[in-house]
Amino acid sequence: NFAKASFKDFENISGLNAFERAEVFQEFTDYMVKNGQMNFRFMTSKQGCGPEMWVTSPFNQKPRKCVSLVSNDYLNFTQHPEVKLAAIKGIERYGTGAGASPLIGGHHEYHEMLQKKVAGFFNRSEDSALVFTTGYTSNSAALLALLKGEDVAILDMAVHASVYEGCKETNLKMFPHNDLDFLERNLKEAQEKYRTRLVIIDGVYSQDGDLARMKEIYDLTKRYGGFLMVDDAHGIGVIGKNGRGAMEIFDLVDKVDIISGTLSKAFGHIGGFIVSTPEIINFLKFQSRQQVFSSTSTPAAAGLLKAIDLIDEEPKWREMLADNVAYFKKGLIDLGLNIGNTESAIIPVKIGDPHKTGDAGRLLLEAGVYANTIVYPGVARKNARIRTSLMATHTREHLDKALNAFEYVNQKLHISVN
């Protein structure tokens, strides 16, 4: 029954080979597109990241200009002239690729400088950071290398898919999102049984935009002799007085045992990193298969060196973003919409029903606003929502257009909570 299915249901269909499974999956995605579910075909962007985007959709092949509420380029550094210039200079100097994995010749000067700069950004010694190909790889690769059969990962259930992937070779315990009692039970049970007890949380959660109860989680973890890893892909560069993310808000930048971050969001490029003790970094350099056998940053990483500097040199981008977030949140709340507990630049509009959410995404697009429709397995089945993310460069006009579009959707679909 295609109407009730999600793409998770097609991961593995017993009795079919891989090619047959793909054929059935093709029929399913064709059916979903025919029935107006917009997230079963990619929207093609005809322009770089920005507050507006020219897109073509499965429903309208003619490019059309929309207010974009989909980008993680929170500070719009992908378009910052100095970042672009630095990246171009890096390419002009060293070419477009690294040519090899870091261990066997791809450790170019910008890559080395980037690792030192990331370490310094978190106030750690220069050998405390390691850059990976993406944020996804940072999590999955580091965890696969670090955690083995005698260890346990204790996850907030809402952590990113890459963390789950990284925990495939170790023992797993989970606690409901931000549930401290449950976490304490996990820690108690694990205390005698496992060598490493690594609690893994996000700083900012990617679907609700809310924060971890980080201080309490840190204290509990330490009380039971565990270690804490924080993936703050959506917080670093974006929140905290100095842009050091959720860890800065909780005054834990210097204390978290393993920091994981991405270079693809606030820093406007591609890549990810792990920051930890120099010994852990050295271990990962040689023991992480993805680090040893895969290429990492290109000379365009020179742009990242500038982007990281700009976090300190130009705090105005963070301030503009915070103003936009406050304005947009108030506008949505005034419309009676349920935005949950967000404290970041990710603002969900929670609808619940997946089909209504699909309709809402399409209506927004009709009104010239591109936002993401998030349904299962991105979130739990009854938790479908429109996910918006804001940028520093959205103007009031962009945000008003988006708020008017949400008002229109609410009139049509009655998605408000009061």
User: Which residues would be at the binding site for ligand PMP (CB under 6 A)?
Assistant: 134-136, 139, 160, 162, 202, 206, 231, 233-234, 262, 264, 272
Quote the CA–CA distance of 355 and 235 in Å, as a whole number. 31
Strands 272-275 and 129-132: antiparallel
Tell me if 163 sits within 8 A of 187, measured CB to CB: no
In the bound state with ligand PMP, the residue whose beta carbon lies nearer, of 138 and 410, is 138
In the bound state with ligand PMP, the residue whose beta carbon lies nearer, of 233 and 335, is 233
Quote the CA–CA distance of 418 and 415 in Å, as a whole number. 9
In the bound state with ligand PMP, the residue whose beta carbon lies nearer, of 126 and 165, is 165
Tell me if 281 sits within 8 A of 62, measured CB to CB: no
Q: Give me the least distance between CB of 338 and ligand PMP, in Å please.
A: 21
Count other Cβ atoms within 10 Å, centred on residue 269. Answer: 21
Q: Give me the least distance between CB of 270 and ligand PMP, in Å please.
A: 7
CA angle 178, 252, 312 (to 5 degrees): 120
Quote the CA–CA distance of 35 and 120 in Å, as a whole number. 51
Q: Give me the least distance between CB of 160 and ligand PMP, in Å please.
A: 4
In the bound state with ligand PMP, the residue whose beta carbon lies nearer, of 121 and 406, is 121
Quote the CA–CA distance of 189 and 185 in Å, as a whole number. 6
Integer CA distances (angstroms), 263 to 29, 60, 73, 85, 249, in order: 31, 32, 10, 17, 20
Q: Give me the least distance between CB of 136 and ligand PMP, in Å please.
A: 4
H or E segment to which residue 337 belongs: none
In the bound state with ligand PMP, the residue whose beta carbon lies nearer, of 272 and 403, is 272
In the bound state with ligand PMP, the residue whose beta carbon lies nearer, of 134 and 357, is 134
Quote the CA–CA distance of 216 and 220 in Å, as a whole number. 6
Quote the CA–CA distance of 263 and 40 in Å, as a whole number. 27
Q: Give me the least distance between CB of 157 and ligand PMP, in Å please.
A: 13
In the bound state with ligand PMP, the residue whose beta carbon lies nearer, of 93 and 168, is 168
Count other Cβ atoms within 10 Å, centred on residue 46. Answer: 11
Q: Give me the least distance between CB of 252 and ligand PMP, in Å please.
A: 17
Place of tokens 């591609």: 270
Q: Which two tokens stand for residue 344?
A: 């970041």
Amino acid letter, residue 27: E
Nearest-CB residue to ligand PMP? 135
Burial class (CB in 10 A: 0-12, 13-18, 19+), 121: buried
In the bound state with ligand PMP, the residue whose beta carbon lies nearer, of 90 and 245, is 245
Q: Give me the least distance between CB of 159 and ligand PMP, in Å please.
A: 7
Q: Give me the least distance between CB of 13 and ligand PMP, in Å please.
A: 27
DSSP state of 90: H
In the bound state with ligand PMP, the residue whose beta carbon lies nearer, of 165 and 400, is 165
As separate numbers, helices (DSSP H) first and strands (DSSP E) second, the chain gives 14, 14
Q: Which two tokens stand for residue 325?
A: 């977030």
Q: Give me the least distance between CB of 350 and ligand PMP, in Å please.
A: 18
Q: Give me the least distance between CB of 405 and ligand PMP, in Å please.
A: 24
Which residue from 197, 196, 202, 223 is spatially nearest to 214, judged by alpha carbons?
Answer: 202
